[in-house]
Amino acid sequence: MSRHQCPGCGFVFDEKIADPLNGYPAGTRWTALPETYSCPDCSVRDKPDFVKLDDE
């Protein structure tokens, strides 16, 4: 499972948790998100801006 962090606010998209409030249930792969996915916390950064963290 991978994790990606928003460089603006620090939100971490963890595939184990994903983003259920925005329609992405637990287990959703990062690669399955659209390129237009934006940070649910700050709404400033889009998917291409996120930084990949070490896999767990």
Per CATH, domain 1-56 is 3.30.360.10: no
- Name the residue among 1, 4, 2 with its Cα closest to residue 52: 4
Q: What is the pLDDT of residues 11-55, one digit of tens each?
A: 999 999 999 999 999 999 999 999 999 999 999 999 999 999 986
Tell me: pLDDT of 56 over 60: no
Q: How are beta strands 51-52 and 12-14 bridged, if at all?
A: unpaired
Q: Which residue has the tokens 């998100």?
A: 33
Name 52's bridge partners: 4
Query: 46 phi and psi, to 5 degrees?
Result: -105, 170
What's the predicted TM-score (pTM) here?
A: 0.90
Beta strand spans in the chain (E)? 3-5, 12-14, 51-52
Q: What does the domain layout of the chain look like in residue ranges?
A: 1-56
